[in-house]
Amino acid sequence: MSHTYNFAYLDEQSKKMIRRSVLKAMAIPGFQVPFGGREMPLPYGWGTGGIQLTASLLGKEDVLKVIDQGSDDTVNAVSIKDFFRKTAGIRITENTPEATLIQTRHRIPETPLKQGQIMVYQVPIPEPLQFIEPRRPETLKMHAFEEYGAMYVKLYEDISKHDRIVTAFDYPALVHGRYIMSPSPIPKFDNPKLHQSPAIHIFGAGREKRIYAVPPYTDVISLDFEDYPFELETWEESCAICGSGTSFLDEIITDDKGSRLFVCSDTEYCRKNGKKEA
Amino acid sequence: MTYMPGEKPYPLLSVRNLSKFYGKTMGCHEISFELGKGEVIGIVGESGSGKSTLLKCIAGRLTTTNGSIFFNSSYGFIDLCRTDEMLLRKIIRSETGFVTQNSVEGLRMTVSAGGNIGERLMAGGMRHYGQIRKIARQWLETVEIDAKRMDDLPSTFSGGMQQRLQIAANLVTDPRIILMDEPTSGLDVSVQARLIDVLRKLVARLSLSMILVTHDLAVARLLSHRLYVMKDGRIVESGLSDQILDDPREPYTQLLVSSILKP
């Protein structure tokens, strides 16, 4: 079927337009660049932003990895991989170091990223200030004038209600000392992986039609208070499959009597780590 | 006006020849007055007389059509109508306070009372939670709200409490000027009395400089040193509060004063 579509589905003009937005986003780290979002053959909320980015960035030599909630083989990941296998005919992998482009929803792989790799994120809500200030023209000004006090109000409310910052995903971060960015729904566990990362991180919001980026070796600092510093989530358990004590764990309920298992959310890392231990 | 450019000492605020038109409709026209430090002036007049328009222009919430608003800010004696937006917003946020008639506009209703007071502090760069809490608690006590209510949403507060919370949220950064737009309307008289009490205490203790817009002459008399009477977008009479209220000169002011019910 691939002959009926242009390479990687999108037409070349659209790709060009998206690449221009990507370049601008790379030049202004953390700044949300508007782009002319195209209709894609999947519904909003399923990764239309990420898939447009991937389509515009893919070359024939690229090796693609797609993860969904850390997993390589859930419906969303499998479908997107299928889509690009059909429309671009490129090589697909699950092996993180081998991939040149990784489209993700919710996770950054546990295996450290390296220079030359591109992470593409599917973003539902690109505007970190939206929850505190619903007016778009106002949030634009707040970004432009670096008026970020309101962002701390959200963290303040967390502490006053729960005695700690309970924001666990989409945790706001300051990029390159200038723009506050919503790092898509990755767990805050992954926020430190963005800081001074050698890889390129590009975020695409399809419904909101915004692209923003973290270029390689850029500061990404998670917001916090002096007396309530940014903390990572920790688990008392280790992964039930591979035994890792350092990766992000998912809780899996195994029966209706309350039995549960904790396993790595990054399935590829878990598989490799398990082999190493065995 | 008495003030000439370059003349010192500067007044806190000097409004000169200010006009605001909504298309062809006049909001306020050729308004000039000055406000000294520690002074409270009242602007009175009936609905539609342009008093809220005037106040919103001073608060930077409306762009003016003509004229100047010189403000003695920490960035110098500058014309707010000709300041770039970034600086204007910074000055408005930290050096002026604006208490609205409707507290829904002035407060974040989905954020706790403490968060509302803390916002200006955090906007100013304070990043210590404990310190923010401490200051917020002090301000709640100052405006006579039980500190136990600090983590409650303003939507659970009574109208009078919401107004007092708004005042605390504005005063927390120690602004040079407070602008109040009908702070007592919509409150019953005993609640009004308490709010006025709190305001009088604050004015005396902190020697606040304030512009108070109200249609309630009793409130104006209790709080303000000087009064400006507005009608159809223009100032028709001005003077000391007692003088204006006890011995009005203009027919319109006489009408206004005689319209008050005396129990």
Angstrom distance (rounded) from CA A19 to CA A56: 7
Whether the per-residue pLDDT at B1 is higher than 50: the answer is no
Same domain, A108 and A194: yes
Interface test with A, best of B111, B129, B134, B152 (most A CBs within 10 A): B129
Same domain, A208 and A242: no
pLDDT digits (tens, 9 = 90+) for B71-88: 999 999 999 999 999 999
Q: What percentage of residues in chain A have a pLDDT greater than 90?
A: 87
Handedness of CA A243, A244, A245, A247 (dihedral sign): negative
How many CA atoms lie within 13 Å of A143's alpha carbon, on the beta-carbon side?
23
Interface test with A, best of B93, B121, B122, B152 (most A CBs within 10 A): B122
Same domain, A38 and A119: yes
**pLDDT mean over A67-80:** 92
How much is the pLDDT for B5? 54
How much is the pLDDT for B188? 87
| pTM: predicted TM-score of the whole model, two decimal places | 0.88
Within a domain: residue A210?
yes
Q: Confirm or reject contact between A161 and chain B (CB < 8 A).
A: yes
Whether the per-residue pLDDT at A194 is higher than 80: the answer is yes
Within a domain: residue A243?
yes
Same domain, A204 and A276: no
Structure tokens at A90: 């490129």
Does B112 contact A157 at a Cβ distance shorter than 8 Å?
A: yes
Same domain, A170 and A272: no
Instruction: Tell me the CATH number at A196.
Output: 3.40.50.11310
Q: Could you say which of B89, B127, B128 has the minimum Cβ distance to residue A147?
A: B89
Report the gap between the CA of A160 and the closest CA in chain B (Å). Answer: 7
Which residues, 6+ apart, have CB-to-CB distance to B249 below 8 Å? B237
**Residue A49 belongs to domain spanning:** 12-222
Provide the pLDDT confidence category of residue B4 given band limits of 50, 70 and 90: low
Within a domain: residue A121?
yes
**Cβ neighbours of A107 (radius 10 Å):** 23
A136 near B112, Cβ under 8 Å? no
Structure tokens at B258: 């005689």
Report the gap between the CA of A225 and the closest CA in chain B (Å). Answer: 5
Within a domain: residue A71?
yes
Same domain, A262 and A205: no
A163 near A220, Cβ under 8 Å? no
Within a domain: residue A180?
yes
The count of structural domains within chain A is 2
**Which residue in the block uniquely carries the two structure tokens 């409650």?**
B152
Q: Could you say which of B89, B129, B150 has the minimum Cβ distance to residue A159?
A: B129
Whether the per-residue pLDDT at A2 is higher than 80: the answer is no
Structure tokens at A135: 């007016």
Within a domain: residue A73?
yes
Angstrom distance (rounded) from CA B250 to CA B256: 10
How much is the pLDDT for A277? 64
pLDDT digits (tens, 9 = 90+) for B132-153: 999 999 999 999 999 999 999 9
Touching A: B residues 79-98, CB under 8 Å: 85-86, 89-90, 93
Provide the pLDDT confidence category of residue B2 given band limits of 50, 70 and 90: very low
Report the gap between the CA of A157 and the closest CA in chain B (Å). Answer: 6
Same domain, A173 and A66: yes
SS3 B41: strand
Residues of A in contact with B150 (CB under 8 A): 160
Range B102-107 contact pairs with CB under 8 angstroms and sequence separation of 24 or more: B102/B186, B103/B154, B103/B159, B103/B162, B103/B163, B103/B165, B103/B166, B106/B166, B106/B169, B106/B170, B107/B154, B107/B162, B107/B165, B107/B166, B107/B169
Within a domain: residue A5?
no
Mean pLDDT (chain A) is 94
How much is the pLDDT for A116? 96
Residues of B in contact with A157 (CB under 8 A): 111-112, 115
Same domain, A195 and A127: yes
**pLDDT mean over B220-246:** 94
- Whole-number Cα distances in Å, A191 to A13, A26, A158, A162, A163: 34, 18, 18, 21, 21
Same domain, A150 and A240: no
pLDDT digits (tens, 9 = 90+) for B13-65: 999 999 999 999 999 999 999 999 999 999 999 889 999 999 999 999 999 99
Q: Which of A176, A201, A222 is the last residue of a domain?
A: A222
Report the gap between the CA of A45 and the closest CA in chain B (Å). Answer: 26
